[in-house]
Structure 1
Amino acid sequence: MTCFDVRFEGEVAHLRLNRPEQRNSLIPSFWAELRTLVQDIDRNARARVIVISSTGKHFCAGLDLGVFDTGMFRAGGEGDEPGRKRALLYEGIRSLPETFLALQRARVPVITAIQGGCIGAAVSLAAASDLRYATRDAFFLLQEINIAITPDVGQLHWLSKVMPDGLVREMAFRGARLAAERAEQVGFVNEVFDDHETMIAAVSEIASEVAAKSPLPMWGSKHVINHAREHSVEDGIDLVALWQSGMYHPDDTKESLRARQEGRTAIYENLRPAP
């Protein structure tokens, strides 16, 4: 892995960005690495929670400027016919947000821990996660307008689901920093910590707590919450009824009650690997 250190602690997978000297900027290999890691953990039921953290002063500086010298943002293809060239460019740009969609599609919760700058495309990574925690010095920045680009890897779409509309527009139009305290006030960040060490310790504890719950209703809760973003309450109620009638089984509930009575930690079966 070029961009990540990976370790497993119990039922928690820790993915840590590991290029602090480059402010963990997103080089071309990042996109496939994160997508592959998340899909492998999810599909093979290797963990019940995924934690994404970082190293150095900044969480992530966004797209590495070197990508503009690669084919990722060029209208490639043979010949001079502009339609086919632009169609290929469209496919290339369209593929990038698939990495962050993998976080949303994963059956397990994804937690992101952010210190320092979370800039550009990294905002999509944070916004596509289920829970976000930050240090007091953290900030979020849609830098694209400052370099004459429309944000194109899902930042505006995910932010519009988890942040007030006016604030999303202000971030997009002004290209100004959103401080961690303000992000917490509007509900984008779950909690702010004084420093990186304290945050990682707290996030690890939260992840372990979540991982100790039954993974099947955890998956169901994530699925229903994601569905609610795009559907009416009535549609959501119907989805929950379908989920419960198909996926609910009393064994986990019985184990929860027995464990509580016996003063022990409940033991649940992991999810099956996905086909």
Structure 2
Amino acid sequence: MTSSATALPSLRSLSVEIHAGVAEVQLLGPSKGNAMGPDFWTELPAVFDALSTDDAVRSVLLYGSGGNFSYGLDLPAMAPVFAPLLAAGGMDAKLREGFRRQIKDLQDAVTSLARCAKPVIAAVDGWCIGGAIDVIAAADIRIASRTARFSLREVRVAIVADLGSLQRLPAIIGEGATRQLALTGEDFDADRAAALGLVTELADDVVARGRELAVQIAANPPLVVQGVKQVLNRRTQAQVQDGLEYVQVWNTAFLASRDFGEATAAFAERRPPVYRGE
């Protein structure tokens, strides 16, 4: 990291460099496709909360390494979060409350982009799946390469998306489009993402274009820029927070299902899942 004002411990899932008012945050993995494991969920809020209070930073650019933004939640690495509740059949109230708090912690990690005082630009290349869409939905500006691909895929693994996409996307792409993407879990390409308004523009070199936008923002009066973000956030933040709290309770009650167990087994066995509504 290059900054005298921001001090962070050693990072494994992210790298941070700060130059001329622009902080560049890169997803590093270490899982395949920058999948989001325990390190990511700890480091993401630490990084964005630090950047929020760093006077040397005026804008933030977030992008992935290795040709992808992120494959989303690293299910094998995050299995310990789900395992106790599944083993108890969802019947232990203390386990359920602990699980709800874990959902809240993951939600708060994503929300660190929205609450960051500095505007955040997400530059998407390659795949952006599941939890990665939660993350970019919390950014202020989203742009993509022409080869980017997206999927709000949680429904396909027996999960109600609970980290912010269902709360934030309706204001970005509309209610109807959000429902279609969330209910089908379908993959869609960069042209469709642009047509929906999920991304505001496509670029051949998305990181270079992201840097141009970040520099342009950084040249504007910083307090005014932060004020614009705060005023825009004010429109939806109460509604978003209410939705996040509701889905915490819903998934705490229903995620420990036989269908979710089937999803995890099918993932491990590399076969299509068979869901029975149980």
Give the TM-score normalised by the residue count of structure 2: 0.76
| Whole-angstrom distance in 2 between the partners of 1:111 and 1:53 | 9
Q: Distance in 2 between matches of 1:81 and 1:23?
A: 35
Aligned counterpart, 1:154: 164
1:222 equivalent in alignment to 2:229: yes
Equivalent residue for 1:140? 150
* Structure (1 or 2) with the larger CA radius of gyration: 1
SS state at 1:57 partner? coil
One-letter amino acid matched to 1:51? L
Question: What's the CA shift for 1:81?
Answer: 7.3
Change in 2 beyond 3 A, CA 1:70/1:21? closer
1:103-252 to structure 2, matched below 5 A, reads: 103-194=113-204, 198-229=205-236
Question: Could you say if the C-alpha distance between residues 26 and 172 of structure 1 is closer, same or farther in structure 2, counting changes exceeding 3 Å?
Answer: same
Identity of aligned residues (%): 31
Q: Matched residue of 2:85: which SS?
A: coil
8 Å CA contact retained: 1:75, 1:88: no
Which whole-Å CA distance do the structure 2 matches of 1:124 and 1:45 have between them? 27
Q: Is the 8 A contact 1:73 1:92 kept in 2?
A: no
C-alpha offsets along residues 144-165 of structure 1, whole Å, 9 cap, x if unaligned?
A: 1111111111121111221111
1:251-262 maps to which residues of 2 (within 5 A)? none
Which residues of structure 2 form unaligned runs of 5+?
A: 1-10, 239-278
CA distance in 1, matches of 2:168, 2:63: 19
1:35–1:102 Cα contact (<8 Å) kept: yes
Q: Aligned match of 1:83 in 82, 90, 93?
A: 93
Q: Aligned-pair distance for 1:116? A: 1.1
CA shift, 1:20, in A, is 7.2
Q: CA offsets, 1:57-80, max 9 Å, x none? A: 32100011223432356339x9x9
**Deviations for 1:197-252, whole angstroms, at most 9, x for unmatched residues?**
x2211111111111011100111111111112368xxxxxxxxxxxxxxxxxxxxx
Question: Number of residues paired by the alignment?
Answer: 227
Superposition deviation, residue 182 in structure 1: 1.4
Unaligned 5+ runs, structure 1: 232-275
Q: Give the 4+ runs in structure 1 shifted more than 6 A.
A: none
Residue type of the alignment partner of 2:80: T
In structure 2, what is the equivalent of residue 2 of structure 1? 12
Cα deviation, 1:8-50, whole Å, max 9, x if unaligned, reads 1110000001137610000111011010001011123230001
Alignment partner of 1:50 out of 50, 60, 65: 60
The TM-score normalised by the length of structure 1 is 0.77
Checking the alignment, whether the CA contact within 8 Å between 1:3 and 1:17 is kept in structure 2 is yes
Q: 1: CA distance between counterparts of 2:83 and 2:138?
A: 23
Is the CA contact (8 Å cut-off) linking 2:12 and 2:30 kept in structure 1? no
Aligned to 2:73: 63
- Change in Cα spacing, 1:152 to 1:8, as seen in structure 2 (3 Å) is same
